[in-house]
Amino acid sequence: MIRPWVAIQRNPRSGSGKRRRFLFDFASALKRHNLRPHIFSRREILAERLNDPERRAALVGIVAAGGDGTLTDVANRFPGVPACPFPLGTENLLAKYLGIPLDGEAAARIIAAGNVRKFDVGQAGKETKFLIMGSVGFDAEVIRRLHDSRRGNISHLSYMSPIFRSVMSYSFPRLTVTADELPEPIEGSLVIVSNFPAYAFKLPVNPDAEPDNGLLTVRVFEKSGRWNFAKYCAMVPRRRHLERPDVRVFKTSSVTVEAEATAPVQIDGDPFGTTPVTFRCRPGELELFVPESIS
């Protein structure tokens, strides 16, 4: 008989250095709650373990020890298994939204309590899931450049050079947005598709997104060019973009974005090729451990 256990998928880039101690404190806390922790650095080893029916039956859940991308990876590879973020990344948007701190004992208590809540997930393209948001346009170009040059751990400062280089060279191609809810296509220069209301740098881009309503929230910034983009950037932190007639918003179960040439796409902070792309909502497919206060 295999005792109840928790798989911890570690992102080697995130869970290293000074943050490694948080991970081992978390593992020790799980033991105090009578849950056996198993830390995996190699994705294929975790997948191999879960091919064993007896081990799979005893699995309580999978912890994504890293950033938002680590949790997205876990959700894509192990559908139907309850997951929990342990925030070792740069943004940790979902962990902040759920109220899961970088505290081993607090996270272990949440998992031991067994409070699981269902959320929607997004789908980009034919089958790839995203949890928080996807976008087409300038911010996806920044993400592309960041990942092309990444050599190890990143911080908020790591974004500065990709942002500067994107400002200097990005051409802001025109985008065409279509959905059943729209009487006619919308044209714009930046499209943000949100499942959760979180965004990098705590920016309130889509604060009205709801992760359990079966719909994605789509915001289209219509005007193009560097000057207009700079104005949008100044508006968003103060939420002034929410009432702009040239910033359109709607909710949908499916939206397609095309470009006059091609435009970069990103999901949950990782590059996802270029347009055309279709984003869909998959209701209630994500199970996450949550604190009792939001269960």
122 in a domain, yes or no? Answer: no
Q: Is residue 155 part of a domain?
A: yes
Q: How confident is the model at residue 15, as a pLDDT?
A: 44
Residue, of 148 and 7, whose pLDDT is higher:
7
Return contacts of 201-204, CB within 8 angstroms, 24+ apart.
201/91, 201/156, 203/236, 203/237, 204/236, 204/237, 204/239
Expressed as residue numbers, the domain containing 44 is 5-114
**pLDDT of amino acid 93:** 93
- Tell me the mean pLDDT in the region 80-96: 93
The mean predicted confidence, pLDDT, of the chain is: 92
Contact 132, 286 (CB under 8 A): no
| Domain contains 289 | no
The backbone torsions φ and ψ at residue 57, rounded to the nearest 5 degrees and listed phi first, read -65, -30
User: Do 98 and 21 have their domain in common?
Assistant: yes
Closest CA to 223 of 200, 192, 245, 193: 245
User: The domain that contains 105 carries what CATH number?
Assistant: 3.40.50.10330
Q: Is the same domain home to 279 and 133? A: yes
Domain total in the chain: 2
201-236 pLDDT, tens per residue? 889 999 999 999 999 999 999 999 999 999 999 999
Q: Is residue 167 part of a domain?
A: yes
279 falls within a domain: yes
Shared domain for 189 and 143, answered yes or no, is yes
- Between CA 14 and CA 184 the distance in angstroms is 44
